[in-house]
Chains A and B, each alone.
Chain A
Amino acid sequence: GAVVSQHPSRVICKSGTSVKIECRSLDFQATTMFWYRQFPKKSLMLMATSNEGSKATYEQGVEKDKFLINHASLTLSTLTVTSAHPEDSSFYICSASGGATTDTQYFGPGTRLTVL
């Protein structure tokens, strides 16, 4: 149980385009989903927290208009990187909580974004 999927696993795009990443909880209802960014050989940096049906809470320094988060249902959250630039290239990972133990987070497999 507690499986989280994420799509796409890899994406390469041109500078200036927008990219959408989907995060799904497959076998439980995720009351809260989280989006992280991870640079090579670094820890996970929380970008934002989203609760179903409400606006996401962004961490300090994360641009809301740059990283659009939507949590439209209890099983799906999306992150859209708008007008992507090479510095946005990174490993983006989502997690979801709301399973049997509400504070436990289960992670998706991540999306490697490369902006040319």
Chain B
Amino acid sequence: GENVEQHPSTLSVQEGDSAVIKCTYSDSASNYFPWYKQELGKRPQLIIDIRSNVGEKKDQRIAVTLNKTAKHFSLHITETQPEDSAVYFCAATPGKLIFGTGTRLQVFP
């Protein structure tokens, strides 16, 4: 079955800096890769996703890249703000979502 690894587990950045979170997956059949942001006690919120026929996708300060050959995908957040502080989860799926272990991002003013 699919296995998703996520790094780092914690990430602290200064406001305005960039943050990068990386994930690897094992199942070459996975074709959909969403990223979720979860604040404490709240539901995971979809922030961006990418499908296997695309190498990169950008939405304002957030971008995701996918390397199918290497089976890894990354989340890039530019110009970070304190409100970006949360836990971020990557996931991969053909069919059902398999989540990474999460990255706790702290953005310091």
A107 touching B102 in the complex, CB below 8 Å, given contacts A34-B96, A44-B89: no
User: B61 near A: Cβ within 8 Å?
Assistant: no
Chain A 33-50 interface mask (CB, 8 Å, partner B; 1/0): 010000000111010010
User: A18 near B: Cβ within 8 Å?
Assistant: no
State whether B46 touches A106 (Cβ < 8 A).
yes
Instruction: Count A-B contacts at CB 8 Å.
Output: 40
B94 to chain A, nearest CB (A): 9
User: B108 near A: Cβ within 8 Å?
Assistant: no
Chain B 24-46 interface mask (CB, 8 Å, partner A; 1/0): 00000000101010000111111
User: B73 near A: Cβ within 8 Å?
Assistant: no
**Closest partner residue, chain B, to A105 (CB atom):** B97
Residues of B within 8 A of A46 (CB): 96-98
The complex places the Cα of A93 from the Cα of B44 at a distance, in Å, of 9
User: B74 near A: Cβ within 8 Å?
Assistant: no
Residues of A in contact (CB 8 Å), total 17
State whether A104 touches B44 (Cβ < 8 A).
no
State whether A109 touches B97 (Cβ < 8 A).
no
Chain A 72-116 interface mask (CB, 8 Å, partner B; 1/0): 000000000000000000000101000000011111111010000
The complex places the Cα of A90 from the Cα of B89 at a distance, in Å, of 19
State whether A43 touches B96 (Cβ < 8 A).
no
State whether B101 touches A43 (Cβ < 8 A).
yes
The complex places the Cα of A95 from the Cα of B44 at a distance, in Å, of 10
Q: From B44, B96, B98, give the contact of A107 (CB < 8 A).
A: B44
Q: Which A residues are within 8 Å of any B CB, using their own CB? A: 34, 42-44, 46, 49, 93, 95, 103-110, 112
Q: Which B residues are within 8 Å of any A CB, using their own CB? A: 32, 34, 36, 41-46, 49, 89, 93, 96-102
5 shortest interchain CB distances as A-B pairs: A107-B43, A43-B99, A109-B43, A103-B32, A107-B44
A34-B96, A107-B45 are known contacts; what are 14 more A-B pairs with Cβ within 8 Å? A43-B100, A43-B101, A46-B96, A46-B97, A46-B98, A49-B96, A103-B93, A104-B46, A106-B46, A107-B43, A107-B44, A110-B41, A110-B42, A112-B41
